[in-house]
Amino acid sequence: MGPPALRPALPRYDTLENLGPDRMIVANGDSIGSGGPERMPCNWFQTHENVMDPFHVFVLHSNFSTSQFHALMDIRPEISWELTEHGVCSYQIRAMPDGNTFRRVTEVVLPNIRIVADPFVRQMGPGNSVAWTLPIDDTNTRIFTVYHFPSDQPVPRLTRNPMYGGKTWFELDAEGHQRFPGDFEAQVGQGAVTWHSEEHLATSDRGIALFRRRFRQAVEDATAGRDPLNVVRGGEAVVRVRAGNFVVDKTAAE
């Protein structure tokens, strides 16, 4: 969207590079992070900044109505946030029943990339997906995801998990959506466009505040004709992914 001479480098993500023959790349447009439908009737920002609200995993997805993810998500975490060279990271530390420590990391990469560690914990280690939150217009959003998956297995429809009281989102009626709310209900329930001036942020919202400040700075940079964060010219743009699920052995911690 500008002069060819100023075209930035297309970012690469290390977690999707140099895969072995047992892994394949899958492109998905089902809006995996929506909790249900592929299109969300709300502003993209209230969907995207949800990634920096890890407390909602413990409350909304684990202890409000039913446990929707892995049992480890039911454990209250100690949470911290960090500004990175690409955006913002959240670190969620959980004490496991066996004495080990579960370390879950999620991150946002400006302007609209979300890298979320698998809440079903189907594998340990670095995250295997990168997703883009796409604003269709001011009040409609869709999420596109690229991830690597075992090449010898059929690709599942990840939005069809029976995680809402044993049913998928699409199998619930209106009362079911009230009794087993997920991301769709929490984010769309804020309205088409949420008003930040009406909010009362707390210390648990620090990650959201960090992301908003960093995004506001990027908007100001672009408006002033400066390159915003993550625009690279004249070279390669490689993003080192921090997100993932990790176990710290209790003996190593000692």
Q: Which helix (H) or strand (E) holds 187?
A: helix 183-188
Q: Which two tokens stand for residue 61?
A: 């997805």
172-176: Cβ within 8 A, 24+ apart = none
Using left for φ > 0, alpha for ψ between -120 and 50, and beta otherwise, residue 91 falls in: beta
Is residue 253 pLDDT above 80, yes or no?
no
Q: Which amino acid is at 199?
A: E
Q: Which domains does the chain have, with CATH numbers?
A: 4-253 (3.90.380)
Write out pLDDT tens, residues 134-192.
999 999 999 999 999 999 999 988 888 899 999 999 999 999 999 999 999 999 999 99
Is residue 254 pLDDT above 70, yes or no?
no
Write out pLDDT tens, residues 18-58.
999 999 999 999 999 998 999 999 999 999 999 999 999 99
Angle at 202 between CA 198 and CA 204, to 5 degrees: 130
Q: Which two tokens stand for residue 86?
A: 């690409």
Q: Which helix (H) or strand (E) holds 135?
A: strand 129-137
Write out pLDDT tens, residues 182-240.
999 999 999 999 999 999 999 999 999 999 999 999 999 999 989 999 999 878 899 99
Q: Which amino acid is at 253?
A: A
What is the chain's mean pLDDT, rounded? Answer: 93
Is the peptide bond preceding residue 119 cis, with omega within 30 degrees of 0? no
